[in-house]
Structure 1
Amino acid sequence: MTSQADMNATANMTFRRHVGRLGYFALAFGGIVGSGWVVVLGEWLGAAGPGGAALAFGAGGITMALVCACYAELTARMPRAGAEFVYVRTSLGAIPGFLVGWFLLLNFVGLAAFEGIALVWLFSALFPSMHDAPIYYVLGEPVGAIGLTASFGGLLLLGWLNARGSGATVTFQKILTYGFIAFAVVLAVLGLSLGDFANTRPLFQMSPNGFPWSGVFWVFSMCLLFLNGFQGAAQVAEERAHGVSLSAVAWAMIAAVVAASIFYVLIIFAVASAAPWEETVAAGLPTAHAFGVLSPSAPWLAQVVIVVAIVSLAKTWNVIVIIGARLIVALARDHFFPSRLAALNSHGAPSLAVGLFSILAALAVLLGPGAIVPILNLCAMCLAATFVLLLSVLLKERASGTSKPEFKVPGNSVPILVALILVIAMGAVAAVLPLLKADGLPTEWLLLAGWGMAGAILFRASRKVRNPDTERSR
């Protein structure tokens, strides 16, 4: 049975409603576009070339817009914190619901760690004289005290901000997101107008070994991550201000995915036009390097790009904490975690859930930069499996005809089936490529196995406090 302390803790679980339309777009777009356009754009160009990377993001944008529309319909049907977990738990039962919630939690812990490690890279580029002596090595890469301090400091700051309530976090998000959009437009215009399109040749990078278009398909699979994050809006659907419809939330999410896709394509060509892209890829941060050499009179543009990237990273990191905390709240509401983790403080914030998520992210940061590629591949696999389940849930909900939500994906089931096929293709690439490249079992598969075993233990232990009758009825 649930303890009296847990019952008391659940007494205050109703979120305050004050997120407006601009806030929802800021959460969705700000959650999508983070630091990848600076930190890993060189990987995209090196794998696929400018034309291949742009083609991959074009196709990925269409796919993720379809997925986002399906998400939006599910949000309109079940506007609850926890989003994906709630959709699957309600429709398919406890075990599928828990699996989605548990592995999505791993995904966002991994993404939070990625942002923390990326922050260190950006600071190192901004202050090249900063030397961080290694404390230890993970997967052949050093982990230093300064880097860990910066990452932990960022998590602590965002944890404190999120503990102040969604009013504070959404205001912070709007300031950073709309400021970033203004700078992004300027950067794209500068790169495309001052650069030389001849620098983009060759447009496509063909792999010398294996399948010649593998780089394009890899970048396409990475769109699962780099066009993901719109769920930040779905996670706070309970917190929409009075007068904000679920249809407005849905269109804000879809508009954010479309805008992010356009941004990525523009920045790919802006960077590739600024200087011969094959030389740019060899630089530590290709985007900063490209803008640094774009104009002889403005080498300081490289530093501006890095500062803008830090701002962009902060807003995405903020959304990741929002999502992770609300996933924990949803799992606690259903007693997979202690119920007290679903309680809200005097600011209407799930401070205990925020604290737990921040601790998990801090532990992941300890893996250091050597774990970045495995973390990204792991996250892509988690998201692909989740999206497949969610699209299946939507098809099931539509077939039942139990409700008429405020927003529906246009047309019949065809767009949903197309999105399902494309997501399966993305997930297959993300899962198979590491197996082809690794000697033995890839790190990402080992991480998945370890997290899965921990989840199995938690699921079994939580059965004692969940209602068996509810379990059988789901």
Structure 2
Amino acid sequence: MAAVTPSDSQKHSLSLWNFFTIGFGAIIGTGWIFLVGEWLVISGGPLPAMLAFLLGALLLPVGAVFGELTSSLPLDGGMVEYVDRTYGKTASFVTGWLLLLSNIIMCPWETIAISTLFAQMFGSIFPLLRSVKLYTVLGADVYLWPTLIALGFAAFIIRQNLHGAAAAAKTQAFLTKALLCGLLLAVISAVDSGSLSDWEPAFQQVAAANLQTKATSLAAGVLALLTVTPFFYTGFDTIPQQAEEAAQGLDWHRFGRIISLSLLAAGGFYMICIAAFSSLMPWTAFVQEPLAALACLRQLNFTLYFVMLCITVLGALGPMNSFYASSARLVTAMARKQQLPLIFTPPPGKPAAASTHALLIFCTVLAPFLGGNMLLPLTNVAALTFMFACTMVCLACYRLRRSEPALHRPYKVPGGRFGIGCACAIGSCIVALMLLPGSAASLNPAEYLLLSAWIVLGALVKALHRYGHRA
């Protein structure tokens, strides 16, 4: 198989630190603020929630696989290339198409989150924000001013990405620092006012809003949340998606470790977050609050609460920034492999075509009009499609060890084929649990409908593209 090299016309500007902030910022986002209460409900308490995110570190072998493949084949949207080299064009298209769904979802997810934040939390401080109600969709109210504000933030991220990888990376570094400041504030609050007794009971079935604990034991609670955690680790794949923009002379062996480091840092961040917020008030009361993390801070100190609100908005921009860039590179990779129409093939020296930007802008701009209740369905579907794509990449890595043993690998998965096999098994088990009927993590009918619609659209795109080549 002929070697594939990055385009010489691309600008090479991203350092190891840039890649770390791209991945870490994409992983963290605002889930820790918006959904920490839901994590406790799903798992039945702080202890099983923290154990679930600790076991989420099982994804480390998957991250190591990405490190090996990206250091060997540093290509934008390389996941498409890896699967194509091992399992063929059809498997590559399916992998890329499902991964594209999980990537594209993240930009709308964050714009919905920002709109919801301004409507519910800032709206209680500044009533003007909720003065103009547009309509109600899926039980969620959509207001004019929060929607416009969310669109304004989205426009800023789109502008940064249109200016190139360097501008987007600089923005990401700032946003990562803001996230760390937010965590520090939560920890200081917990040390000053918290109590470990608020973690009790260790496990309890509870209900909050439209969610309730399905698990019947602590172990089952850990498993129930464990199958959802992949979504909250989604984002490390944005690191290899922009490999072609790596700075000249980058140490690719150290690059392989950056992906695993971002996963470890995110896991520690989540566990500290759960521990801190669950110490501020009894967790069974905590989960009853809308946007529980922010609600409990407001009870402690209004100034701290307002600062955390502002940090949360900045936190939402991190994943939007990373996933916008990642989605653009993935579309470009699929177009290069002739899996998408030629209009998505970028001109020389550009990481994405104008039509690709138009597609991403449309999805991002549409999102705030869908309402806050779309967050959880988007979360679950993105988790499934992301883990499927990761599993295919792990299988590709395993086969490449046999089919291309001479391929230069600056970084290798610890444990060799055994380590790669573990990554394959982990991905397969998580996908199976999300598809298995009766599983606590299985998709609901609405989520299956969303997934099915995307699959049908993919089949239609594939058929039309094939017909166009034959014509």
**TM-score normalised by structure 2 residue count:** 0.88
Q: Does structure 1 retain, via aligned residues, the 8 Å contact 2:26–2:318?
A: yes
In the other structure, the counterpart of 1:8 is none
Partner of residue 110, structure 1: 105
Greater CA deviation, 139-148 or 163-172?
A: 139-148
Match of 1:99 among 69, 94, 98: 94
Q: Deviations over 1:341-397 (max 9, x none)?
A: 332588766554233222133345543223222211111110121122111111101
The residue aligned with 2:53 is 57
* 2:417 corresponds to which of 391, 413, 418: 413
CA pair 86-465 structure 1, distance change in 2 beyond 3 A? farther
Q: Give 3-state SS (helix, strand or coil) of 1:329's partner.
A: helix
Most deviating of 397-406 and 311-320 = 397-406
Tell me by how many angstroms 1:245 deviates: 2.1
**Which residue pairs with 1:164 in the alignment?**
163
Q: RMSD between aligned alpha carbons?
A: 2.6
CA distance in 2, matches of 1:466, 1:347: 25
User: How many angstroms does 1:460 deviate by?
Assistant: 1.6
Report if aligned partners of 1:173, 1:318 keep a CA contact under 8 Å in 2.
yes
Match of residue 252, structure 1, among 258, 266, 270: 258
- CA distance, structure 2, for counterparts of residue 191 and residue 229 of structure 1: 28
Query: Which runs of no fewer than 5 residues in structure 1 stay unpaired?
Result: 1-11, 469-474
- Show the counterpart of 2:122: 126
2:236 corresponds to:
230
State the SS of the aligned residue for 1:318: helix
Q: CA deviation at 1:451?
A: 1.2
* Residues in 1 aligned to 2:235 and 2:215: alpha-carbon distance in whole angstroms: 32
User: Aligned in 2, Cα 1:293/1:344: closer, same or farther, shift over 3 Å?
Assistant: farther
Distance 2:166 2:353 in 1: 13
Instruction: Give the direction of change, closer, same or farther, for the CA distance of 1:221–1:133 in structure 2 (3 Å limit).
Output: farther
Secondary structure of the equivalent of 1:229? Answer: coil
Greater displacement, 126-135 / 316-325: 126-135
* 1:18-58, Cα deviation, whole Å (9 max, x unpaired): 10121111101111110001001110012221001000000
> Aligned with 1:273: secondary structure?
coil
| One-letter amino acid matched to 2:399 | K
Pairing partner for 1:323 from 316, 321, 326: 326
Q: How does 1:21-420 map to 2 (within 5 A)?
A: 21-48=16-43, 49-60=45-56, 62-124=57-119, 125-128=121-124, 129=127, 130-131=129-130, 133-206=132-205, 211-212=216-217, 213-294=219-300, 298-344=301-347, 350-400=353-403, 401-420=405-424
- Kindly provide the CA deviation profile for residues 397-436 of structure 1, in whole angstroms up to 9, marking residues without a partner as x: 1122141311111113222222322223322333347887
Say which SS state the counterpart of residue 287 (structure 1) adopts.
helix
Q: Is the 8 A contact 2:42 2:221 kept in 1?
A: yes
Deviates more, 1:443-452 or 1:342-351: 342-351
> Which residue in the other structure is 1:7 paired with?
none
Residues 176 and 312 in structure 1, CA contact (< 8 A), matched pair in contact too: yes
Change over 3 Å in CA distance of 1:352–1:21 after alignment to 2:
same
Matched residues, number: 452
In 1: Cα distance, 2:9 partner to 2:467 partner: 25
Q: Percent identity?
A: 25
Q: Tell me by how many angstroms 1:323 deviates.
A: 0.8
The answer (yes or no) to whether the contact 1:15–1:238 under 8 Å persists in 2 is yes
Please state how far the C-alpha of 1:107 moved relative to its aligned partner: 1.2
Q: Indicate if the aligned counterparts of 1:68 and 1:254 stay in contact, CA closer than 8 A.
A: yes
Show the counterpart of 2:209.
Answer: none
Q: Is the 8 A contact 2:69 2:82 kept in 1?
A: yes
Bigger drift between 72-81 and 262-271 goes to 72-81
Contact 2:18 2:169 in 1 (8 A): yes
Q: Is the 8 A contact 2:11 2:349 kept in 1?
A: no
Would the alpha carbon gap of residues 302 and 452 (structure 1) be closer, same or farther in structure 2, given more than 3 Å must change? same
Q: Is the 8 A contact 1:110 1:364 kept in 2?
A: no
Secondary structure class of the residue paired with 2:279: helix
Shift of residue 188, structure 1, vs aligned partner: 2.1
The one-letter code matched in structure 1 to 2:435 is A
Please give the secondary structure, in 2, of the residue aligned with 1:18: coil
Determine if the alignment matches structure 1 residue 454 to structure 2 residue 457: yes
Q: Distance in 2 between matches of 1:148 and 1:13?
A: 41
Which amino acid is 1:288 matched to? L
Cα distance change, pair 288–132 in 1 and its aligned pair in 2 (3 A): same
Cα pair distance change 1:346/1:145, threshold 3 Å: farther
- Cα deviation, 1:281-325, whole Å, max 9, x if unaligned, reads 11112111233334xxx3321122221111111111100101111
Q: CA deviation at 1:159?
A: 1.5
Whether the 8 Å CA contact 2:178–2:315 is kept in 1: the answer is no
C-alpha change, 1:434 and 1:38, in structure 2 (3 Å) is: farther
Runs of 5+ consecutive residues of structure 2 not aligned to the other structure: 1-6, 207-212
Q: Kindly provide the amino acid, as one letter, of the partner of residue 37 in structure 1.
A: W
8 Å Cα contact 1:344/1:351 also seen in 2: no
In structure 1, what is the equivalent of residue 3 of structure 2? none
Amino acid aligned to 2:267: S
